[in-house]
Amino acid sequence: MMLIPCPFCGKRNESEFIFGGPVVAARPDPNAVSDAEWVEYLTIAPNPLGPVQEKWWHARGCGEWLTIWRDTRTHDIVEAPNGSE
């Protein structure tokens, strides 16, 4: 069980959170980018063997959305969200 640091509630059980997916680039203007860039935005997420940045929602807690860096090899949280420490 991961203990995810919430900026408001402190370290809480992973089971209180809902996974919000990896952090991807900001949504581009589809009319301003090429088809290839648009497809890349829609379909490709980083898949590193190591730290990945991802969003979690403290749905069964305070409701805060937060962002952590988590190592995909160990599940260690290597960087806590801003303001949680």
Partner 1 sequence: MFVLLRWITQTLCERKSVCVRVNLFIDEFCSLINIVTTMQKYSLFSLARNALSGHRNWPLAWRSPPLKDQYEVVVIGAGGHGLATAYCLAKEFGITDVAVLDRGWLGGGNIARNTVTIRSNYMRDESIPFYVKSVSMYEGLTKELNFNMMHSKRTMVDVVQTWPKLRELRRRQLVMDIYGSTYEQITTDELRRRIPALTGGGPDARLPIICGMVHTDAGVNRHDAVAWGYARAADAMGVEIHQQTAVQSLIRGADGAIEGVETNQGTVRAKKVVVAVSGHTTTLTETAGLKLPLRTMNLTAFVSEPVQPLVDVIVNCPDSGFYFSQSDKGEMVIGGAPDMGQSFRRDIKQNVFEDTVTSMLSLFPSFKKLKLMRQWGGHLDIAHDASPIMDQTEVPGLFVTAGWWGGYKAIPAGGLTLAHLVAKDEPHPLMSSFTLDRFRHLDFVMEAGTTTAR
Using CB under 8 A as the criterion, which residues of the chain lie in contact with partner 1 when the complex forms?
1, 13-15, 18-19, 22, 35-36, 39-40, 42-45, 47, 49, 52, 54, 70, 72-75
Q: Write out the two tokens for 27.
A: 């949504």
Q: Which residues contact 79 (CB under 8 A, 6 or more apart)?
A: 51, 68, 69
Instruction: Considering the complex, state which of residue 1 and residue 32 has its C-beta at the smaller distance from partner 1.
Output: 1
Q: Please give the single-letter amino acid code of residue 10.
A: G
Closest approach, Cβ 19 to partner 1, in A, equals 4
Which residue matches tokens 């290597």? 78
CB 24, min distance to partner 1, A:
11
